């Protein structure tokens, strides 16, 4: 039984068929990559799985449970965490506050605790702080704990975002272009971060990436998406050298000439 199972999922924005008959099956501990040219619908697939959009048709099951129609806060609380291509960090919040925020669904002190500062709330908040500190150390950003996240260097911001997703204790992690805009050194460091998280938590990862190097390093299985359809899937080498994939990428370049 796969952990994340998508069958025949389609979505259209008005008349535009953004995703058609998409299938995915992700087992525990597996890393699958999703590649494709710009506008192929990769991020849309993430948004459909996590519940930001509701698919026009098809089903998504997570851990054996149908999750179509669930809100993003529900799917994430179930253990389906994600990151964003543009990071989406909260500009007025500190690094520590970012990590604690992702524990939102685990707090049980309720309104009474929020309004009255009960001992129960104090205990839960300080436990969360301790846990958050562990995660900050794990991703080597603990020295920034009390700083506003906008003041951090880019690579550190990326790691904060990873830590924020990981503190949810997800079973599946969806990574949307984690190395975009990075130098080759930063990229290699990020690959290590992802690999360590994967090994440590036996995490299933579904990864959108433009850079084939990253896909080759991390993934056992790759899908190539063009115009909302999976063109080819298989091992990284197979997909990368497939004539249709090359055509899709090169074809895109020809247009721009």
Partner 1 sequence: MDETLAPKKAGGVFSRADQLFKPVPLLGYLFGFFACVIWEQFIGDGLASVLGLPKMPVLFGLVTIFKVLAGIVSLLIKGNAFDWTTLVHIPAAVAYFFVVYLAPLTLVARATANLANGIARALQKFPLIVSALIQLGLMYSILHIWAEMSDYRLITLKLTLVAVLFTLSLNIINGYMGEFSCSHPGFMAIGAYMSSLFTVGLFANDKVLGEAVFTFSGAYLTFPLALLFGGLMASLGALIIAIPSFKTRGDYLAIISLAFLFIVKSFFENMQALGGSRGIAGQPDWSTLPVIFITVAFGVWMINNFVTSTMGKALNAVRDDETAAEAMTVNTRKTKMTAFMFGAFWAGVAGGLLAHVLRYVNPAMFSIQKLAEVLAMVYFGGLNSVYGSIVGAVSISLLGEALRPLEILKWIVIPLLLILVMIYRPTGLIAFKEFDTRQVFGPKEMD
Question: Which residues bind to partner 1, rule: CB under 8 A?
Answer: 50, 52, 71-73, 76-77, 81-82, 84, 88-93, 97, 100-107, 109, 111, 113-117, 121, 125, 128, 164-165, 168
Min dist CB 136 to partner 1, Å, is: 15
In the bound state with partner 1, the residue whose beta carbon lies nearer, of 168 and 230, is 168
Given a contact cutoff of 8 angstroms between Cβ atoms, the answer to whether 232 and 245 are in contact is yes
In the bound state with partner 1, the residue whose beta carbon lies nearer, of 109 and 249, is 109
Min dist CB 82 to partner 1, Å, is: 6
Report in angstroms the alpha-carbon separations of 142 from 13, 52, 78, 139.
Answer: 42, 31, 27, 8
- Distance between CA 196 and CA 145 in Å, rounded? 21
Min dist CB 101 to partner 1, Å, is: 5
Min dist CB 131 to partner 1, Å, is: 12
In the bound state with partner 1, the residue whose beta carbon lies nearer, of 113 and 228, is 113
In the bound state with partner 1, the residue whose beta carbon lies nearer, of 108 and 256, is 108
Angle between helices 119-138 and 154-166 (to 10 degrees): 130
- Distance between CA 48 and CA 174 in Å, rounded? 12
Q: How many CA atoms lie within 13 A of 145 on its CB side?
A: 13
């Amino acid at each position: 039984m796969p952990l994340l199972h998508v069958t025949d999922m389609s979505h259209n924005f008005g008349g535009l068929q953004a995703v058609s008959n998409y299938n995915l099956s992700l087992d525990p501990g597996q890393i699958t990559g999703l590649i494709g040219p710009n506008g192929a619908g990769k991020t849309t697939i993430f948004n459909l799985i996590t519940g930001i959009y509701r698919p026009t048709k098809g089903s998504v099951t997570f851990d054996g449970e149908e999750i179509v129609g669930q809100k993003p806060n529900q799917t994430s609380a179930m253990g389906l965490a994600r990151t964003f291509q543009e990071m989406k960090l909260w500009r007025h919040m500190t690094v520590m506050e970012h990590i604690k925020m992702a524990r939102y669904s685990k707090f049980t002190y309720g309104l009474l605790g929020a309004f009255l500062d009960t001992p129960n709330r104090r205990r839960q908040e300080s436990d969360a702080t301790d846990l958050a500190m562990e995660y900050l150390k794990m991703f080597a950003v603990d020295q920034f704990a009390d700083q506003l996240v906008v003041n951090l260097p880019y690579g550190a911001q990326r790691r904060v975002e990873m830590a924020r997703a990981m503190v949810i204790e997800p079973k599946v992690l969806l990574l949307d272009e984690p190395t975009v805009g990075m130098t080759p050194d930063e990229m290699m460091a990020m690959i290590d971060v992802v690999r360590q998280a994967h090994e440590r938590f036996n995490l299933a990862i579904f990864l959108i990436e433009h850079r084939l190097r990253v896909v080759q390093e991390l993934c056992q299985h790759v899908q190539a998406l063009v115009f909302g359809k999976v063109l080819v899937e298989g091992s990284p080498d197979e997909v990368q050298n497939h004539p249709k994939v090359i055509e899709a990428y090169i074809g895109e370049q020809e247009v721009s000439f």
